């Protein structure tokens, strides 16, 4: 019998419905069993007939019962009977084994420094920018203003290319700051470098295509391409940047970081740039130019981009992760209009669009001048920390015993050792002393180069000096 529990806060009809469903699914009311007429059941329970009618209607609409004019309401014969615990399978379907995925994620975590495993008081992270409460205050202000000003149309399905006012702001920024002059149809907004590369792989390459990457270089680039079943061909890097003559002749895409090479920090020499552009034109392959931290240059203006010299087969990647904060997850790919259109189609099919709130907030952040002031402020911070880093490396003797590169631009430097050096032991010993350093081997595919990629964006001047001096004591005794 169904019962009304007066202390239950649920509506009476909901209580009765839940009890009825429980009776049916547990077999207490057997398939084909005739239920009492609504008037009779209502009188027995002490509720109105309309309440019982609501319960019966809901049972029927969910397929628990069947009705007929003469046969009344019966429990459906097709109700699933659960197996006994002894007969029930132990678990549901088992996901397929994806060894390449698990291996890549493990390598990615290792590249980032396995921060969940070990705490470090001084972290020379090359991955993260400087953030402070001033930024947080301005971003919060833009968030509140943008959410207040947004009209209802902003919350509908949007443009797969990205929010038009934000693309217009990026268009203006590229023209004024990087010498890149494009239409908004040549700009596609994405949620980070890996998302950009994933779209490029899906839209512009065929499965099994050969992709050339720097070695050492940006691990996420070759991981993403490998996961998309591309053939990854490493290309050596020397003091002049990518060794263009070593690019696989069958390569359909070359990923390069010419302004500040991802691992070594070297600047790609002008003859190499021209050689790469000529090869791309002759062999008809894509150049993907990741310009991730070229904004932070300590001698002169930012270097000209490859894209500004040859737009027809170059894809230019920019990101706000280093310029503002990784958590914003807004970046852009700039390229030939037809290539960007095809990437936008893939985005529309697989991701639909980026979340609107981040785009609205970033647009306001730029329009109100917060972005320009933020860049001016962090450049001053980085200039001081860069000076502290170079001074500490020189004072400690490390820049004489090891090869220092990448000091002209960007937010990290490379302290390179001989290939036979015990890089892993020093990395472990440093972490035991509260210093996290990033081994060069984590950036390598086939290369046997060894050393440490040292970032300074998140370490203040006093910590830089203390950390480098302690690191020197370790390195000088190994």
Q: Is the pLDDT of residue 203 over 60?
A: yes
In 3D space, the residue among 315, 90, 278 whose CA is nearest the CA of residue 197 turns out to be: 315
- State the chain's mean pLDDT as an integer: 90
Which DSSP string do the residues of 245-301 spell out, in sequence order?
A: GGS-TTEEEEEE--SS-TTT-PPPPHHHHHHHHHHHHHHT-EEEEE-TTTT-BSSSS
CATH number of the 12-75 domain: 1.10.10.10
CATH class of segment(s) 153-361: alpha beta
What would be the CATH architecture of the domain defined by 113-130+373-476?
A: Alpha-Beta Complex (3.90)
DSSP secondary structure string for all residues of 145-186: HHHHH--GGGGS---TT--HHHHHHHHHHIIIII-----GGG
How far apart, in Å, are the Cα atoms of 402 and each of 2, 123, 127, 393, 405? 82, 20, 22, 10, 10
- What stretches of 397-460 show up as alpha helix (H) in DSSP? 398-401, 423-432
Render pLDDT for 121-180 as a digit per residue (tens, 0 to 9).
999 999 899 999 999 999 999 999 998 888 888 887 889 999 999 999 999 999 998 889
Residue among 302, 261, 254 at smallest CA distance from 277: 254
Compute the distance between CA of residue 387 and CA of residue 456 in angstroms, rounded to an integer: 10
CA angle 442, 446, 448 (to 5 degrees): 70
Would you tell me how many other CB atoms lie within 10 Å of the CB of residue 272? 19
Cis peptide preceding 348, ω within 30 of 0: no
Determine the Cα–Cα distance for residues 260 and 266; give it in Å rounded to an integer: 6
Residues whose CB falls within 8 Å of the CB of residue 148, separated by 6 or more in sequence, listed in order: none
Q: Give the position of tokens 């020189």.
A: 394
CA distance 269 to 242: 9
> In angstroms, rounded to a whole number, what is the distance separating the alpha carbons of residues 431 and 38?
74
For the cut 80, the answer to whether the pLDDT of residue 15 exceeds it is yes
* pLDDT tens-digit readout, 449-463: 999 999 999 999 999
Q: What would the pLDDT profile of 230-278 be if each residue is shown by its tens digit?
A: 999 999 999 999 999 999 999 999 999 999 999 999 999 999 999 999 9
* Diameter of the chain measured on Cα atoms: 99
Going by C-alpha positions, the residue among 477, 472, 426 that lies closest to residue 450 is 426
Cα dihedral: 333, 336, 337, 340 (round 10): -40
Average pLDDT over residues 42-60: 92
Q: Quick check: 90 pLDDT over 70?
A: no
**Model pLDDT, residue 92:** 76
pLDDT of residue 376: 93
CA neighbor of 289 nearest in space, from 320, 271, 323, 313: 313
Q: Are 12-75 and 113-130+373-476 the same fold in CATH?
A: no
Q: Provide the residue ranges of all domains of the chain, joining segments of one domain with +.
A: 12-75, 113-130+373-476, 153-361
Cα distance between residue 246 and residue 254, in whole Å: 11
Helix (H), strand (E), coil (C) string for 209-239: CEEEEEECCCHHHHHHHHHCCCEEEEEEEEC
**Mean pLDDT for the stretch of residues 331-341:** 96
What is the token pair recorded at 226?
């490998």
Give the pLDDT band (50/70/90) at residue 84: low
Mean pLDDT of 212-220: 95
pLDDT tens digit sequence for 342-389: 999 999 999 888 999 999 999 999 999 999 999 999 999 999 999 999
Query: What is the pTM assigned to this prediction?
Result: 0.83
Q: What is the pLDDT of residue 85?
A: 56
Specify the pLDDT at position 442.
93
Residue 238 forms beta bridges with which residues? 241
Name the token pair of 90: 């132990």
* Helices first, then strands: H and E counts in the chain: 17, 16
φ, ψ (nearest 5 deg) of residue 420: -85, -5
- The secondary structure element, H or E, covering residue 405 is strand 403-405
Residue 1 has what pLDDT? 75
- CA-CA distances (angstroms) from residue 417 to 89, 400, 408, 451? 56, 11, 20, 5
């Amino acid at each position: 019998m169904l019962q009304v529990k007066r202390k239950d806060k649920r509506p009476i009809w909901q209580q009765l419905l839940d009890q009825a469903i429980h009776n049916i699914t547990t077999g207490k009311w057997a398939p084909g069993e005739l239920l009492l007429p609504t008037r009779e059941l209502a009188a027995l329970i002490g509720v109105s007939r309309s309440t019982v009618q609501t319960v019966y209607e809901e049972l029927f609409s969910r397929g628990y019962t069947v009705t007929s004019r003469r046969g009344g309401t019966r429990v459906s014969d097709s109700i699933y009977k659960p197996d006994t615990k002894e007969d029930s399978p132990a678990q549901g379907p088992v996901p397929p084994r994806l060894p390449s995925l698990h291996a890549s994620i493990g390598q990615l975590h290792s590249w980032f420094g396995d921060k969940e495993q070990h705490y470090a008081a001084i972290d020379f992270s090359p991955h993260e920018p400087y953030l402070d409460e001033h930024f947080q205050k301005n971003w919060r202000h833009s968030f509140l203003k943008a959410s207040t000003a947004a009209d209802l149309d902003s919350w509908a399905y949007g443009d797969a290319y990205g929010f038009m006012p934000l693309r217009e702001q990026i268009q203006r920024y590229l023209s004024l700051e990087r010498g890149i002059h494009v239409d908004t149809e040549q700009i596609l907004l994405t949620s980070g470098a890996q998302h950009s590369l994933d779209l490029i792989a899906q839209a512009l390459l065929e499965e099994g295509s050969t992709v050339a990457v720097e070695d050492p270089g940006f691990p996420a680039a070759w991981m993403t391409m490998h996961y998309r079943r591309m053939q990854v061909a490493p290309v050596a890097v020397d003091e002049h940047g990518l060794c263009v003559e070593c690019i696989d002749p069958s390569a359909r895409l070359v990923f390069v970081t010419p302004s500040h090479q991802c691992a070594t920090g070297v600047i790609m020499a002008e003859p190499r740039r021209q050689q790469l552009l000529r090869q791309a034109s002759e062999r008809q392959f894509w150049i993907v130019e990741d310009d991730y931290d070229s904004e932070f240059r300590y001698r002169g203006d930012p270097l000209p981009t490859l894209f500004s010299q040859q737009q027809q087969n170059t894809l230019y990647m920019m990101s706000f992760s280093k310029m503002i904060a990784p958590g914003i997850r807004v970046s852009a790919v700039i390229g030939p209009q037809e290539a960007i259109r095809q990437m936008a189609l893939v985005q529309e099919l697989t991701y639909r669009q980026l979340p609107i709130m981040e785009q609205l907030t970033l647009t306001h952040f730029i329009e109100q001048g917060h972005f320009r002031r933020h860049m001016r402020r962090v450049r001053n911070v980085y200039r001081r920390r860069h000076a502290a880093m170079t001074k500490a490396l020189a004072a400690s003797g490390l820049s004489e015993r090891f090869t220092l590169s990448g000091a002209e631009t960007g937010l990290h430097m490379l302290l390179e050792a001989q290939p036979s050096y015990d890089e892993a032991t020093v990395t472990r010993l440093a972490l035991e002393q509260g210093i996290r350093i990033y081994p060069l081997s984590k950036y390598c595919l086939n290369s046997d180069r060894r050393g440490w990629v040292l970032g300074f964006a998140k370490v203040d001047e006093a910590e830089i000096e203390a950390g480098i001096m302690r690191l020197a004591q370790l390195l000088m005794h190994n």
